């Protein structure tokens, strides 16, 4: 199965480039200025004069950071190199979240696996404290060998998850049908590395091998184009001039890439899980762009 996955991955990589080769993004900024390491007792470190951040996990604790600013809409890009080797039981999370019991959240969670097996990219969206909107994917490359860019586009029309500039999931605003959308609460950008061996790898059947610790994930080149939320007001005015991301939609080329990724690399979609929803699939599955 592993051989099959890597053959498929190589074919997929070629197809991806045939579909589109995204333009390179110029990054700037200093992580000292953009984020705070918030927990981990020294396991989270900003290095290289603010150009690199590492999070580590050992038997005692994981670690995490959060953005200094809160945002109400934005485009968020981060280059991440995931935990190499036997990462079973570990989760590297990269997400946007508000606070409180009725929170909004937009998630990337990278589920570790045994050496040689593929990572699972777990995505989810919470609105008003309600989630259970999971979609999962394999990747068409080894995410531990080098840095790759993982992005959220969050604007009034939709949330789009990107990997290296290619959309893998779109969660549309369907408030007109009475469905919730994350647009009422500001959110911070967070990341953490933690132990979740009760569920992360093969449903919790494979546990963390602590002899491999410390586990380390690396982060660099955070780029945020967003509406900063401060003192109850947004930094974005009524004009979206210079903020193309605020009204950005998926054009025909990106729609084609989205369908390609979902056809070839999606391994779970809550909108097709009849066993999980025996009384009927969630209404949003027929309204939003949530099916492959």
Domains in the chain: boundaries = 31-234+243-285
HEC letters along 195-251: ECCCCCCHHHCCCCCHHHCCEEEEEEEEEEEEEEEECCEECCCCCCCCCHHHHCCCC
Per the structure block, which two tokens stand in for 111? 């589920």
Task: Output the 3-class SS for 66-77.
Answer: EECCEEEEEEEE
pLDDT at 287: 77
115: tokens are 């050496």
- Residue 37 forms beta bridges with which residues? 65
- What share of the chain in percent tops pLDDT 90? 81
pLDDT one-digit tens code per residue, 93-129: 999 999 999 999 999 999 999 988 999 999 999 999 9
Across the chain, mean pLDDT equals 89
Average pLDDT for 122-141: 96
Least Cα distance to 122 among 133, 139, 108 occurs for 108
Fold of 31-234+243-285: Jelly Rolls (2.60.120)
Measured CA to CA in angstroms, residue 194 lies from 40, 65, 95, 242 at distances of 10, 12, 14, 38
- pLDDT of the residue at 286: 81
pLDDT at 288: 63
The catalytic residue positions are 105, 109
How far is it, in rounded angstroms, from Cα 52 to Cα 48? 6
pLDDT digits (tens, 9 = 90+) for 187-238: 999 999 999 999 999 999 999 999 999 999 999 999 999 999 999 999 997 6
Q: How many CB atoms sit inside 10 A of residue 68's CB?
A: 13
Q: How confident is the model at residue 291 (pLDDT cuts 50, 70, 90)?
A: low
Q: Look at residues 271, 89, 67 and name the one whose alpha carbon lies nearest to residue 193.
A: 89
* pLDDT surpasses 90 at 289: no
pTM above 0.85, yes or no: yes
pLDDT digits (tens, 9 = 90+) for 30-69: 999 999 999 999 999 999 999 999 999 999 999 999 999 9
SS3 (DSSP) at 171: strand
Other beta carbons within 10 angstroms of residue 54's beta carbon come to 19
**What pLDDT shows up at residue 241?**
64
Three-state SS annotation for 49-72: HHCEEEEEECCCCCEEEEECCEEE
Give me the pLDDT at residue 22, please.
37
What is each CA distance from 107 to 110, 133, 149, 177, 264, in whole angstroms? 10, 10, 15, 24, 21
Average pLDDT over residues 77-106: 97
Tally of CA atoms within 13 A in the half-sphere of 110 that contains its CB: 24
| Residue environment code for 103-118, b if the CB has 16+ CB neighbours within 10 A, otherwise e | bbbbbbbbbbbeeebb
Report whether pLDDT(77) > 80.
yes
């Amino acid at each position: 199965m592993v051989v099959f996955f890597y053959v498929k991955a190589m074919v997929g990589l070629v197809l991806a480039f045939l579909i589109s080769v995204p333009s390179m993004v110029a990054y700037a900024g200093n992580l000292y200025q953009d984020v705070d390491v918030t927990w981990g007792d020294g396991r989270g470190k900003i290095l290289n004069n603010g150009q690199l951040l590492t999070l580590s996990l050992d038997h005692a604790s994981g670690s995490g950071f959060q953005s200094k600013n809160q945002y109400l809409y934005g485009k968020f890009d981060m280059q991440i190199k995931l935990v190499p080797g036997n990462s079973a039981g570990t989760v590297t999370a990269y997400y946007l979240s508000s606070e409180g019991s009725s929170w909004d959240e937009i998630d990337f969670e990278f589920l570790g696996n045994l050496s040689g097996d593929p990572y699972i990219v777990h995505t989810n969206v919470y609105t008003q404290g309600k989630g259970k909107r999971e979609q999962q994917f394999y990747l068409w490359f080894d995410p531990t060998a080098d840095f790759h860019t993982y992005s959220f586009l969050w604007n009034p029309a939709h949330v789009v998850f990107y990997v290296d500039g290619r959309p893998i999931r779109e969660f549309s605003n369907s408030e007109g049908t009475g469905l919730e959308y994350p647009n009422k609460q500001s959110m911070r950008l967070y990341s953490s590395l933690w132990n979740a061996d009760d569920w992360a790898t093969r449903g919790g059947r494979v546990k963390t091998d602590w002899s491999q610790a410390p586990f380390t994930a690396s982060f660099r080149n955070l780029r945020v184009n967003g509406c900063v939320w401060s003192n109850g007001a947004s930094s974005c005015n009524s004009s979206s001039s210079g903020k193309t991301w605020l009204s950005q939609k998926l054009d025909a080329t990106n729609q084609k890439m989205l369908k390609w990724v979902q056809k070839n690399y999606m391994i779970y979609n809550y909108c097709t899980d009849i066993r999980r929803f025996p009384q009927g699939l969630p209404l949003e599955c027929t309204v939003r762009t949530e099916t492959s």
